[in-house]
Structure 1
Amino acid sequence: MKKVIKSIFQYVGAILLAIVIAALLRLFIVDFYSIPSDSMYPTIEPGDFIVVNKMYMGARFYKNFDFLDGAHPETVRTPGYTSLKRNDVIVFNFPTHANGRWDMDLQTFYVKRCIALPGDSLSIIDGINYINGQSGYGNLEDQQRLHHYRGDYAPGIYNAFPFDYWHRWNIQNFGPLYIPSAGTTITIDTLNFSLYRHLIAYETQVPVHELQRQLYLGDSLIREYTFQKNWYFVAGNQVFNSRDSRYIGPIPEDFIVGKASFVLTSKDPHTKEYVWRRFFKKIH
């Protein structure tokens, strides 16, 4: 009887240890996501089950769980072994606009390509991405399609961030847009206030409003602002079918889960059969 009890405890202990190890792996090292859409095709296909490297730029944790009661989710990141590079494919939380507040949607994750880093200046000229005056970022083949496209656009596709009268940016001609880095101070004027208003509101968690083409933080007029966080510009491979920074603007480092490393498994979303050619395919 003692041997039976001892065996049961050993099995239970092994199971609990396996659960703890799996939880630690997902917290600190990797995570897994199933891809439902084709916005990153051909790099990532619908039905791919991808592995995300959290150690790349450091694992992200919530400082507390006040967000369960509707508070702003504050995060902290462990040291990573490198920093994001242009053209890295990342997984991040999509922003939400609940109750007029721009914040992190804790339930929604997107995968896109990071094409501009903090401190970069981004422009889209005739459909081609330029970072600090240089091209070669994002899906070049689809950018060429956009460059030569002269047809009609589906509703909600053509016009782009910040959706105002003064900039009138679209997916063919966009920017230049400075991507803020932590510690950088910019002057807030009548032209750029619409570009950075939701970034400032997110960082300060104070209501931002416009009055006579000037920006107010609460009751205080903002003439300049020093950014507290690093921001990034992300884009999908499919320029005609991707909800990305062309529409939502830059995203903060807080939102980023990690770098997409490789496809673990893949199933055809229609037939539900395994797509063996996708197994263990590196994402780059």
Structure 2
Amino acid sequence: MEFDFSAILLGLTVLFGVVWGLDRLFLYKKRKTRLDAAGDEYRDPVPVDWARSLFPVVLVVLLLRSFVAEPFRIPSGSMMPTLDVGDFILVNKFAYGLRMPAFNNKFVSMGEPKRGDVVVFRWPGYTCHQADGSVVHGGNQDCSIPVPNQNWIKRVIGLPGDTIEVHDSQIVIDGKPVVAEEIGPFVGNHARHADEELLSYGAMIWKERLGPVDHLIARMPNRMATPSVPNANMPSVVPDNCYLVMGDDRENSEDSRWWGCMPEKNLAGKAFLIWMSWKGWGTGGVDFSRIGTVIH
């Protein structure tokens, strides 16, 4: 079962607020008058006491997560070496505008993603073209299952209106190849699954420049072939209100090359800081060197 924590927080906020508010409007005075007349010490009923105590706490958490910063944990290696499996990050929720909790509808615009930004978004699923010309989305390549409720993280490569070509790890934007410089082989720990894959395929680390952003990527040309762009799901010209996103672990990332562009309406925010990094028992524990790292 998948849980939408924002929806749960919103539901609890409404529930506690309604219970507390209705009690104060219709029941509190009568109850207090009755107890005072009997000489008893006043106490709220347990459900009302809980609602009164928890409402402000849940409301503050909801507001902070929805409009300021939200924590996420990196579950996979698709953004290595920038983000490691087990990194705990903070996401700026107002970088691109304010959105309604749970519903994600933008009601205040504060900018749009820039090339090179690392963004968190609600995964739109695979794009499937039906025989009648309609387009549907699903959780697998033939769209036979529903799209799961998941937040993903990738790097913005193509902006609306850009003409993009991708062949293996080579990216061409509006006719200009993206500049990348080879740094050297990936160095990791064979005991960690995420590292072992990169090591076993002889991954090389490159420094790539996207606009003003210099960042590291991993290339594993011997791992598997990745889809080129354009393809059936991702056209060469990025559609309006959509973005082409890719992982920094280029041969180990299920991204726009596979499932299509990421709609602007699915944005959750911009990743900006690693506040904790856990590499697992016996394989590094807490990686203090990554704590406080600004995400580029």
Q: What TM-score results when the alignment is normalised by the length of structure 1?
A: 0.61
Q: Does residue 78 in structure 1 map to residue 110 in structure 2?
A: no
Deviations along 1:167-206, whole A, 9 cap, x unmatched? Answer: xx9xxxxx8710012xxxxxxxxxxxxxxxxxxxxxxxxx
Aligned counterpart, 1:122: 164
State which of 32, 35, 41 in structure 1 corresponds to 2:80. 41
Distance 2:291 2:42 in 1: 41
Deviation, 1:97, is 5.4
Q: Does residue 241 in structure 1 map to residue 252 in structure 2?
A: yes
| Structure 1 residue ranges (4+ consecutive) displaced by more than 6 angstroms after TM superposition | 1-6, 8-12
Pair 1:53–1:115, CA change in 2 (3 A):
same
Cα pair 1:162 1:247 within 8 Å, conserved = no
Aligned counterpart, 1:50: 89
Aligned counterpart, 1:90: 119
Identity of aligned residues (%): 29
Pair 1:280–1:11, CA change in 2 (3 A):
farther
Structure 2, unmatched stretches of 5+, are 1-38, 131-135, 140-146, 179-208
AA in 2 matched with 1:113: R
Pair 1:142–1:48, CA change in 2 (3 A):
closer
AA in 1 matched with 2:162: D
Cα pair 2:98 2:110 within 8 Å, conserved = no
Distance 2:216 2:55 in 1: 49
Deviations along 1:53-82, whole A, 9 cap, x unmatched? Answer: 110001333796xxxxxxxxxx52132432
Q: Pairwise mapping of residues 104-183 of structure 1 onto structure 2 (< 5 A)?
A: 105=147, 107-125=149-167, 127-134=169-176, 135=178, 136-137=209-210, 142=217, 145=219, 149=221, 151=222, 153-154=223-224, 157-160=225-228, 177-181=236-240
Aligned counterpart, 2:65: 26
Q: Does residue 283 in structure 1 map to residue 295 in structure 2?
A: yes
Deviations along 1:3-46, whole A, 9 cap, x unmatched? Answer: 9969x999985653222111111122222211111111121111
Deviation, 1:255, is 1.6
Structure 1 SS opposite 2:149: strand
Length, aligned pairs only: 209
Structure 1, unmatched stretches of 5+, are 65-74, 170-174, 182-229
Give the root-mean-square deviation of aligned CA atoms: 3.7
Cα pair 2:99 2:108 within 8 Å, conserved = no
